[in-house]
Each structure stands twice: as structure tokens, then as C-alpha cells.
Amino acid sequence: MKIVSTASEMHELSRANRAPGCRIGFVPTMGALHDGHLSLVRRARELAKFVVVSIFVNPTQFGPKEDFSKYPRDLQADLKKLSSLDIDCVFAPEPGEIYSQDFRTHVEVEDWGKRLCGSTRPGHFRGVTTVVAKLFNIVTPDVAVFGQKDAQQAFIIRRMVRDLNFDVEIVIAPIVRESDGLAMSSRNRYLSAEERRSATVLFRSLQKAQTLVGEGNVRVSSIVESMREIFDREPSAKIDYIEWVDSTTLEPIDEVEEGSLLAVAAFVGSTRLIDNWIVPAMSRH
Ligand code: AMP
């Protein structure tokens, strides 16, 4: 497992390992790795012969009042976790390697970055698409794996890839959860013991929606109302949004459709958590 910290060295390494029938697989992360990240790495391992994982806490996707400076960073622990997964390279640049002082070029998927999480986190998705575009140019992957945990992010990246003709296949891997249903997240470590208990409310509200849909309910407003009632019983959690959108447009829908995205964001204490459910085929009666 080679550890690379400069863009030029990473470029070289990818170039040297590109060969017919040898796909380059890529998993971008911000580190503080957990089993959710590792599941993406395993998926990439299945899909590609040469696997690169990046660890980069991207400053441009954090708002001025967000947790950039306190975001957990532990490269040694991350490398240890990755060393058991038979990957080829970890790309772990410093911010100055990615953004020069006079950096001026950004990539933005218009409108989509303002919806859902974008309304609370202005500029966030512009930071994400910019860094992912840069990482794609540096790593030059054939396939990149993203988590459904950040469904809006994955859909936006898919759109960027389509709109800008990146030659990269985007694979979206399922959400990995703790045993009580909480979606794994590097930010879960901010939660106090009490908040950790409350944090399952996101998953519980999604489960309620699944049950209602399974029983044949299709009216989004009434299902969301039932989800809000679950949050009402958890005073330390405050809903940021619950939205049900068409996955291809991110536009709100009134009636549940197969493939649509039910996305939830909530503050538990001061920690903002997200979770979602994509309605599978056949779950409607
Ligand atoms: P992050 O380090 O938070 O930027 O996440 C890096 C990648 O891991 C993104 O594609 C996330 O969607 C994915 N990811 C984070 N948490 C999970 C999870 N619980 N299950 C699956 N994928 C995840």
C-alpha cells in the first residue's frame, strides 16, 4: 500500500498502473474511517484491479461556522484500517497541495446544490463537486464508489460526471448502520451518550415511513407527518428537513414513487446528522 501526498506522484502512479483490463478504482473520503467507508473500499476492490483511497478533509465544502477545524483527523488509525483491505494506494494530500493560494476555478451542478442539505449548507456541494472533479483528474479512476449515506452528494456527482463527460463509472453502495440502526458517520463521535441514544430517531422515522409505504400509503404529506411525530418524542433532536424527492430531478413529490429519495437531516444537540431511504421496487401495494 503506497502512501502518496502529491498530485504529481499520484498522477504518475495511476499512469503507470493503467493497462488494458486493469481498471483503477477510487474511493474518496475525508478519513476518520469507519465500516461504512470500508464497505466502499471492499466494493472498489471487487470492481477494479488497482484501488486508490483518498483521505482529504476538504476545506471548501465546510461553511465558515462548520466543523472544519474540529473534524476528526487520525491518518495513522486510518492507514491501519486500510492496511487489512489489500488496496494499492492511499492519496493523502495537504490542503495546500490541492488548493493553491490563488485558486479560482469551481465546478457546480446548478440548482441541485441548493436543495435539501444545500439550503442549510450553502456552498457545500460546490466544494464537493470541485474537489471530486480535481480528485478525478489527479487519480484518473475508471470507477469511483460513493455511499448512499450521502445520497444527494452521490446524485450530484453522477450529474457532474454526465454533464462534463468524465470517463468514470459512479457506483453507489448501501448505507452501513450500527446495530441499532444509526447510519455510521465520522460525526457520530461528536455525540454525547445521551445524544447517541436519541440519534436513532432519524432511522426510526425512516422505518416508520417504510412501514407506512409497505401498508400501501402513498401520500407523502401524511407519511412525513407521522415521521415528525416520532421526532416530537425526542426533544434533543431537531429536524432540519424531511423531504421526499424524485431521484432524477431532486424535485419534491406528493406521492411515493419507486426509486424516489426520502431524505432526513436533523440536529442532535449541535451535531447535524443525515439519513435516507430510497424506495425500492415492489414496496408499494
Ligand atoms: P466522508 O468521509 O464522510 O466524506 O465519506 C466518504 C464516503 O463514504 C462517501 O461516499 C460517503 O457517502 C460514504 N459513507 C459515509 N458513511 C457511510 C455509511 N454509513 N455507509 C456507507 N457509505 C458511507
Q: Judge contact between 38 and 29, C-beta under 8 A.
A: no
Residues 65-89 have a mean pLDDT of 97
User: What is the structure's pLDDT at 177?
Assistant: 98
* CA 247, 244, 182, 69 torsion-angle sign: positive
Residues 184-199 have a mean pLDDT of 97
User: What is the structure's pLDDT at 281?
Assistant: 87
Give the pTM: 0.97
Checking if the pLDDT of 282 tops 80, the result is: no
Pocket lining for ligand 1, CB < 6 angstroms = 29-30, 36-37, 39-40, 146-147, 149-150, 173, 175-176, 183-186
Average pLDDT of the chain, as a whole number: 97
Checking if the pLDDT of 284 tops 80, the result is: no
The CATH superfamily assigned to 186-278 is Pantoate-beta-alanine ligase, C-terminal domain (3.30.1300.10)
Q: Which atom from ligand 1 is nearest to the alpha carbon of 30?
A: 2
Tell me the C-alpha distance between 37 and 12, whole Å.
Answer: 25
According to DSSP, the β-strands at 169-173 and 50-55 are unpaired
User: Tens of pLDDT along 259-269?
Assistant: 999 999 999 99
* Annotated catalytic residue within 11, 34, 37, 106: 37
Q: Where are the domains of the chain?
A: 2-173, 186-278
Checking if the pLDDT of 283 tops 80, the result is: no
**Which residue's CA is the closest to the ligand 1 atom numbered 12?**
147
Q: Which atom from ligand 1 is nearest to the alpha carbon of 33?
A: 2
Q: Which atom from ligand 1 is nearest to the alpha carbon of 176?
A: 20
Q: Judge contact between 266 and 185, C-beta under 8 A.
A: no
Tell me the C-alpha distance between 112 and 153, whole Å.
Answer: 10
Q: Is 106 a catalytic residue?
A: no
Sheet holding 271-278, edge to edge: 237-245, 261-268, 271-278
CA quadruple 104, 108, 155, 89: dihedral, nearest 10: -10
Q: Judge contact between 243 and 116, C-beta under 8 A.
A: yes
The best mutation among 136, 150, 160 to test binding of ligand 1, ranked by most ligand atoms within 8 Å of the C-beta, falls on 150
Q: Which CATH class is domain 2-173?
A: alpha beta
Residues 68-93 have a mean pLDDT of 97
According to DSSP, the β-strands at 261-268 and 237-245 are antiparallel
User: Tens of pLDDT along 213-238?
Assistant: 999 999 999 999 999 999 999 999 99
Q: Which residue has the cell 493503467?
A: 18
The best mutation among 29, 57, 271 to test binding of ligand 1, ranked by most ligand atoms within 8 Å of the C-beta, falls on 29
